[in-house]
Amino acid sequence: MTDSDVKPPAPFEQLGGVDGVRALVDRFYDLMDLEPEFAELRALHPTSLAGSRDKFAWFLTGWLGGPDLYIERFGHPRLRARHLPFPIGVQVRDQWLACMGLAMAEIGEAGGFTADMQERLMISFANTADHMRNRHG
């Protein structure tokens, strides 16, 4: 086996496993809950964010290459179908992306969020977030 045959670790491992993913999810929801610029996004969530935090952490763990914790509990994520009841337009999408970008930047390299990792994840997050849109505006 040569160096070129060795697969780099999955983002899940690079970000510190379950604890690293949970740190990102918690910072994301803390920012969403506290910062006025994310008010429209926050309004789409229940008063208590505990369930949202757990579900997103379970989903993101598998999405980043770790164990499929969400699928084990709920089956296929069906992201678009699960988000259809919520009015998601450009503004909400952009708030979600800005909040996630800020969470990754605040955790920073110490948590595995190198500039390259942030850029790669933001591209993937942007594609997914845009797919969640169900409103034109």
Q: What is the CATH number of the domain that holds 65?
A: 1.10.490.10
Task: Count up the domains in the chain and report the number.
Answer: 1
What is the Cα–Cα distance from 113 to 117, expressed in whole angstroms? Answer: 5
pLDDT band for position 136 (cuts 50, 70, 90): confident
Q: 4 or 32: which carries more pLDDT confidence? A: 32
Q: Is the residue at 71 inside a domain? A: yes
- Tens digit of pLDDT for each residue in 75-116? 999 999 999 999 999 999 999 999 999 999 999 999 999 999
Residues in Cβ contact with 12 at an 8 Å cutoff, skipping those fewer than 6 apart: 20, 21, 61, 64, 65, 66
- Tens digit of pLDDT for each residue in 42-71? 999 999 999 999 999 999 999 999 999 999
Give the global pTM: 0.92
Burial of 116 (0-12, 13-18, 19+ CB in 10 A): exposed
pLDDT band for position 6 (cuts 50, 70, 90): confident
User: In which domain, by residue range, is 28 found?
Assistant: 13-132
DSSP summary character for residue 38:
G
Q: Is the residue at 120 inside a domain? A: yes
Q: Is the residue at 7 inside a domain? A: no
User: What confidence score (pLDDT) does residue 1 get?
Assistant: 57
